[in-house]
């Protein structure tokens, strides 16, 4: 089984990744099984693995990629409470130790805290210059805050923004997705399955039937329907990983998208960014 690597998202530095990644939030309960699942995902082309110092899964990720580090694209995050200039640098060093690697592919500010963006970005830029991170970005930032980031020295190097996005949480479609496309900043969608609550929705079941697929695969295909969005569902078993990867081969029709919009309407006004 191979994922469709004709599909990819390109970062500002030219790095390309599959638009389907692997999330690790709330993992660690079945460590061996989860490590095998992450490795299976990498074998299938799902090389982007998302973690954070808050998740407590960096050591798990590090173990999973130990024998294939050059194939993996690791994303981690600094907590806002640690995101001062010095604190960001120290947090990154701790993450590198837990991951057992010399560099992090993409390092994000997890959400907005009380430290000025300028402090955090200055540290991120220096970490990048030192080779400890390849790229840096943000998480849970709306358009106005992203504009602020881009206005800072080296701010236009911001490589990504990770936000909540699924069929029930479509607020970012009002302006953030189009703004991100215009600025060449990929959007990473966390909780793309809505924590699994939507799987039994009759509209999704019907669309899945049309494609000989599962509701999960339809939801993921929908999140990834635009070129600039990366979905990072949690996949704590090999079976889930193999189910998820088949979503890359699904092309939703106009009828599918119409039915989805009817069941899960797109925003018609600005919606406060959901998340942390």
Any idea which residues carry the catalytic annotation?
55
Which among 16, 67, 75 is positioned nearest to 50, based on CA atoms? Answer: 75
Bridge partner residues of 164 (DSSP) = 190
Ramachandran angles phi, psi of 22, nearest 5°? -130, 125
Q: Which two tokens stand for residue 168?
A: 């029930």
* Ramachandran category for residue 186: left, alpha or beta (phi over 0 → left; psi -120 to 50 → alpha): beta
- CA atoms of 16 and 9, how far apart (whole Å): 6
- The reply, when asked if residue 148 is annotated as ligand binding, is no
CB 89 within 8 A of CB 123: yes
For 142, phi then psi, to 5°, come to: -90, 180
Q: At a CB cut-off of 8 Å and minimum separation 6, what does 240 contact?
A: 37, 233, 234
Which residue ranges are tagged as binding site?
Answer: 110
Which residue ranges are tagged as binding site for substrate?
Answer: 110
């Amino acid at each position: 089984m191979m994922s469709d690597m004709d599909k990819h998202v390109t970062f500002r530095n030219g790095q390309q990744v599959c638009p389907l990644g692997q999330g690790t939030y709330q993992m660690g309960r079945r460590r061996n099984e989860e490590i095998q699942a992450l490795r299976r995902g990498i074998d299938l082309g799902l090389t982007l693995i998302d973690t954070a110092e808050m998740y407590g899964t960096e050591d798990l990720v590090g173990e999973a990629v130990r024998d294939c580090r050059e194939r993996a694209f690791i994303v981690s995050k600094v907590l806002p409470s640690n995101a001062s200039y010095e604190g960001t640098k120290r947090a990154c060093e701790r993450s590198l130790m837990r991951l057992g690697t010399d560099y992090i592919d993409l390092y994000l500010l997890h959400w907005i805290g009380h430290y000025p963006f300028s402090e955090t970005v200055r540290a991120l830029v220096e970490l990048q210059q030192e080779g400890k991170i390849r790229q840096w970005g943000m998480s849970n930032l709306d358009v106005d805050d992203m504009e602020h980031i881009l206005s800072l020295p080296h701010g236009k190097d911001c490589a990504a923004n990770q936000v909540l996005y699924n069929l029930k949480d479509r607020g970012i479609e009002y302006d953030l997705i189009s703004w991100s496309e215009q600025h060449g900043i990929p959007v990473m969608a966390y909780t793309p399955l809505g924590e699994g609550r939507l799987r039994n929705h009759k509209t999704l079941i019907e669309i899945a039937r049309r494609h000989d697929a599962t509701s999960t695969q339809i939801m993921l295909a929908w999140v990834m329907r635009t070129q600039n969005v990366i979905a990072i569902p949690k996949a704590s078993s090999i079976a889930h990983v193999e189910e998820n990867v088949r979503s890359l081969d699904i092309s939703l029709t106009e009828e599918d998208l119409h039915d989805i919009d009817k069941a899960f309407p797109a925003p018609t006004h600005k919606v406060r960014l959901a998340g942390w």
